[in-house]
Chains A and B, each alone.
Chain A
């Protein structure tokens, strides 16, 4: 606990790693604290098509590996720990983890967001037993099974397309009558013979003992409720949920200004506390993408350098 870092970055996703790269290059002593794995949400993403320079074949894990190597190259230190309490006021900020306590003159909060659950009965109990939020992790279990994907944005449609590699049929369940995903992605989805669409529909309940066997869906327009059961020969099916994200900001509650759990910053990533910045998906912003997260990280690191003088 003796060392006082110039910059402590919480979270090793694209925002945190970009910040580490810029801080490292500026020769600031930099520590990155990560909970479990480098990369954040992008490592559970099959294809990155919309990050400049990441062309066909670039996956989340392959892109993040380059970012990690680059940050390491410029001298950022890394520790795996979960932060449980913070003291952000004053010249030296203190972050208390499960393993150790860390001190920094500046802090960049880049904790990101985690997949939002549907919030229906049975969902928690059946997670990992038919319900999933990670296609690259779990898609393989559903080889030749029926798969349902919930959501209508870029992630939902892209992951649904990825899952057609495994499932014999992939049905997208969306609460609206049209997709929100980029047109180029939609075109591919509509042209895919394995894809089906269930419009204006939500899942009310997921059922099964130890394993998902049926679900109750409701049509929002007609009010019709029906139960979809697993093919008796399969015994189960997959439900993959991509309906947005929840900010990972609990430990900072009451310490920095927030709006619906997202941290409020100015355009230079400053929070309301001097020396404390936020970057990436954790911020209040209009576009949460790898490219905007990385940009936030760069700006935050440069602001740390200025703040330190």
Chain B
């Protein structure tokens, strides 16, 4: 898992080759924290086929808003600088996240 920041988001996600998985989370977001171990597990399992990143939006609020993320958790897939798939809030479960990952590898 690559920890994203305001500084490296463009390089690691928008300009990256191939598809990138981004876990948008935040301080104090309990659902995000609950999902985190599963995302790490998927990063281990599927990490050779898909790039896995996470962004703490609490530290990068403007960046998150610019990415149209204003609610947590959000799990998104990026390709060629654009978000091509996402799961928002209640739609994020272990099963749906893994299914989205499988769809893009």
Task: Give Cα distance in the complex from A3 to B80, angstroms.
Answer: 49
Q: Given A128-B70, A128-B88, A211-B68, does the pair A140, B26 have CB atoms closer than 8 Å? A: yes
Query: Which residues of A are at the interface with B, using a C-beta cutoff of 8 A?
Result: 35-39, 43-44, 60-61, 80, 82, 98, 114, 127-134, 136-138, 140-143, 210-212, 236, 238
Q: Which residues of B contact A128 (CB under 8 A)?
A: 69-72, 74, 88-89
Q: Cβ of B5 < 8 Å from any Cβ of A?
A: no
Task: Give Cα distance in the complex from A237 to B62, angstroms.
Answer: 14
* In contact, B70 and A37 (Cβ under 8 angstroms): no
Residues of B in contact, count (CB < 8 Å):
28
Q: Given A36-B31, A43-B30, A127-B89, does the pair A138, B70 have CB atoms closer than 8 Å? A: yes
Considering the complex, give the chain B residue whose CB is closest to the CB of A132: B71
Shortest A215–chain B CB gap in Å is: 15
Within the complex, which residue of B28, B71, B88, B93 is in contact with A82, where a contact is CB–CB below 8 Å? B93
Q: Given A131-B71, A140-B61, A238-B70, does the pair A44, B31 have CB atoms closer than 8 Å? A: yes
Shortest B48–chain A CB gap in Å is: 24
* In contact, B29 and A236 (Cβ under 8 angstroms): no
* In contact, A137 and B70 (Cβ under 8 angstroms): no
Shortest B23–chain A CB gap in Å is: 14
Q: Given A35-B93, A128-B88, does the pair A137, B32 have CB atoms closer than 8 Å? A: yes
Shortest 5 CB-CB distances between A and B: which pairs? Answer: A128-B71, A37-B34, A128-B88, A43-B30, A137-B29
Q: Which residues of B contact A129 (CB under 8 A)?
A: 68, 70-71, 88
Q: Which residues of A contact B72 (CB under 8 A)?
A: 128, 134, 137-138
Considering the complex, give the chain A residue whose CB is closest to the CB of B72: A137
* In contact, A211 and B93 (Cβ under 8 angstroms): no
Shortest A216–chain B CB gap in Å is: 20
Within the complex, which residue of A98, A127, A143 is in contact with B71, where a contact is CB–CB below 8 Å? A127
